[in-house]
Structure formats: C-alpha cells, structure tokens
C-alpha cells in the first residue's frame, strides 16, 4: 500500500470513528431546547442518548459477522446510507417519541461503518504499523467529543435544535461518498465465511466464550466508561453541577479531549518500541493515579471550583488513551479469521455498558461531583484489574 493510499485510508477511518461522538455530543447543548419544546424532563432527555446506544449495541452484534461474509465495504455503504436518512427523520421529528424512534434507527446503522473500520485497519496492517494507525485514528477521533458540543452550540446560534440533525445528515452523506470512492475492500472473497445465520451465531458463541477475549473486551469497555460517564453526563455535570451555560461545554471537553489526543499521540510514538503490553500497563497505572487524584479533589472544598473538577477526567482520558489501542489490537489478534465478529462483540459490550451509564447510572450518581467521581473510579479500577488478570494468565500459559 502506497503512503498516499495509506494516509487516505487512515483519515477516512478516523472520520468514520467520529460519527459516534458527533451523533451523541453535538446534541447535548440542545437538550434544554428540546425539553422545552416537547415538555420533557432531564430523565426523559437522557433517553435521547441511551436509546441510540442501546440500538447501536444490539445491531453491532451483526455488522462484523456480516462483513466477514460479504466484505467490509458493502456493509459500510449500506449502513451510512441508512444513517443519513435516519438523521433527516430526527430533524423533522414532531414529538420526542418520534425523535427517539429515529435515534434508535441512527444507532442501528451507525456502527456499520464505525465498528467495521477497526477490522479494516487490522486487515490492512500488521504489528507495530497496526498499533500506530490505530493510535493515529484515536488521535483524530479524540477531537470529536471536544468539537461536537462546540459545533452544536454554534449551530444553535443560527437555528433551533433541528439544525444539528441536518448537520449530521450532511456529515453522513460526506462519509458515504468517502467510503464508496476512497476506501479499498480489505476482506477478499477467499477469506469470507458463508452468510448463514447458523455459522454466524456459532462464531459469536466461540468468540464470546473465549476467556482472554472476555477479559480484554471488558477491560477496554470499562476503562473507556471511566471517562464516558463524564461525556454522557456532560449536560448535568457542566450545567447543573458546575453552573455553566449551553455554550460553555468547551470548558470541560477541551481539556478532556486534549488528554485523549496526547495519550494516543504518545502511544503512536512508542509503537516501534515493541513493548506494547508495558505501554498499556503504564497507561492504566496513570489512569489509576488520576482516579485517586479525582476522588481527592472532588471530596475537597475545591470540588466545583474550576479548573479542579476538570483535572481528574482529563488525566483519566490520557491514561486510558495510552492503553486503549493496544487493548483493542490484542483482542482482535485472538481471532485472525473472525476479526469482524470480535470487533462487533467488543463493541456490543462497550455500547451496552455505555447505554446503561447514560440511561441508568448517570441519573443515579449525578447528585454531586464526588458521586460521579466514585462511579468513574469503580469502572477504571475494575478495568485495570481485568488487564492485570489477563497478563497473569498469559504469563502462566507461556
């Protein structure tokens, strides 16, 4: 693969990875206006996020296995076309119920491109090159959660909340064109499996029952949840707990996403070093230190005084971003012939967990900044423990 084609593929995959954060985060500044128009409570508005994540999670079980059978590009093209139409439906929704229906449709098809793009990267690259590309994708991806709510705030200055969904429509149409004309097919016919539900479900069972896969899938998912708790809870954390406004989301997202980008950058620079497990362990150790700092700050008189409630989440994001690409690649390498299935199942675990966080955990723990820090700590500590368990079992096996 030439450098030009490789760079083009990396950029497109990174843009695909941004569709999820943009679909979730750009809508946050509009929650108050949607609530006023439809007479919805905070708990009802949280379902705008959670129903998207639930549908994304369950649909993600099938995107990867289907791509193992018919190829990566056909599934990505069909998914992004349907997502574009669903975004139009959201913009034209006359009630909260209809909006939630189209959010569910968005979730069903968003993963077709975002999830399969990970398998595509591993199809095209090996070893440290795969780690570097995944880290570069994570760097660009990291911009999205910081940029999306800011863009959402800007769009609200020129129109009402519907403008945000028309923006998502345009972005999805651009991605559809880039997939169609800019990405190679990375899964040749000779490597494809039969498109039959029996073998698909059998592959799912085999992957899901694998102990190392389960440990790595939950380690990466729970580690990301330590920071996603703050991302999904941003409307409550920023507006109600910190007392900021609908155009102040950048105060939180810029430092946090800077941490994500720096962590991914350091990972990419260390890729040729070759000690990927050590890098992941260092990243998770940094995350644990950040968790301890966050608990200390949020239990002190500085709990709601900027910048202190922002410091802990930003450092948590740095540590997890340093480890995340390695956890993902280690998991995919367990099943070289079923990478699509492995990527789908890991995404299912992560998205189901994130949907529960958005719809159940956040309403329960968002009373204070300290209670949010405690919940974040529980996710991060469990993730680090699972990674330590995986390393211990691997060394004993060796």
Give the 3-state secondary structure of residue 307. Answer: coil
CA nearest neighbour of 291 among 379, 219, 367: 379
- The residue with tokens 């998912």 is 221
Q: Give Cα 318 to chain centroid, integer Å.
A: 15
Cβ–Cβ under 8 Å, residues 123 and 72: yes
d(CA 372, CA 365): 6
User: Chain-centre distance of CA 341, in angstroms?
Assistant: 17
Predicted local confidence at residue 54, as pLDDT: 82
Structure tokens at 358: 């958005």
Q: What is the pTM of this model?
A: 0.69
| Tens-digit pLDDT profile for residues 19-40 | 887 888 888 888 888 988 988 8
Domains annotated for the chain, with CATH where assigned, are: 3-397 (1.20.1250.20)
Number of H helices, E strands in the chain: 17, 0
**pLDDT value of position 387:** 93
- Predicted confidence at residue 2, as pLDDT, reads 45
Question: In degrees to the nearest 10, what's the CA dihedral of 369, 233, 379, 349?
Answer: 170
pLDDT of residue 142: 64
- What element of type H or E holds 76? helix 72-91
- DSSP three-state, residue 64: helix
Specify the pLDDT at position 187.
Answer: 67
> In the predicted model, is pLDDT for residue 305 greater than 90?
no
Helix (H) / strand (E) containing 331:
helix 308-332
């Amino acid at each position: 693969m030439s450098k030009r084609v490789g760079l083009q593929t990396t950029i497109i995959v990174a843009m695909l990875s941004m569709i999820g954060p943009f679909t979730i985060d750009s809508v946050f500044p509009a929650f108050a206006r949607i609530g006023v128009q439809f007479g919805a409570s905070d708990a009802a508005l949280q379902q705008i996020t959670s129903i998207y994540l639930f549908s994304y999670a369950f649909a993600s079980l099938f995107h990867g296995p289907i791509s193992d059978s018919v190829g990566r590009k056909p599934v990505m093209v069909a998914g992004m076309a349907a997502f574009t139409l669903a975004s139009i439906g959201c913009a034209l929704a006359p009630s909260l119920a209809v909006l939630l229906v189209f959010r569910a449709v968005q979730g069903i098809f968003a993963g077709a491109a975002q999830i399969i793009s990970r398998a595509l990267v591993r199809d095209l690259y090996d070893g440290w090159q795969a780690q570097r590309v995944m880290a570069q994708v994570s760097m660009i991806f990291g911009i999205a959660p910081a940029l999306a709510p800011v863009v959402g705030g800007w769009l609200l200055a020129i129109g009402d909340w519907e403008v945000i969904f028309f923006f998502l429509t345009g972005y999805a149409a651009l991605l559809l064109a880039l997939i169609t004309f800019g990405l190679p097919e990375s899964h040749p016919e000779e490597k494809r499996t039969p498109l039959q539900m029996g073998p698909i479900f059998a592959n799912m069972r085999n992957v899901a029952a694998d102990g190392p896969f389960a440990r790595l899938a939950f380690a990466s998912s729970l580690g990301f949840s330590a920071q996603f708790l703050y991302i999904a809870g941003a409307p409550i954390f920023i507006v109600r707990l910190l007392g900021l406004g609908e155009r102040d989301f950048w105060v939180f997202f810029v430092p946090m996403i800077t941490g994500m980008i720096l962590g991914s950058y350091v990972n990419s620079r260390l890729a040729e070093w070759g000690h990927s497990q050590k890098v992941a362990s260092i990243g998770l150790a940094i995350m644990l230190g950040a968790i301890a700092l966050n608990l200390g700050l949020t239990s002190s008189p500085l709990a709601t005084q900027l910048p202190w409630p922002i410091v802990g989440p930003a450092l948590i994001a740095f540590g997890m971003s340093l480890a995340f690409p390695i956890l993902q690649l280690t998991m995919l390498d367990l099943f070289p012939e079923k990478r699509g299935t492995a990527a789908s199942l890991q995404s299912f675990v992560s998205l189901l967990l994130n949907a529960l966080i958005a719809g159940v955990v956040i309403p329960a723990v968002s009373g204070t900044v300290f209670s949010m820090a405690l919940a974040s700590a529980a996710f991060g500590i469990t993730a680090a423990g699972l990674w330590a368990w995986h390393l211990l079992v691997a060394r004993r096996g060796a």
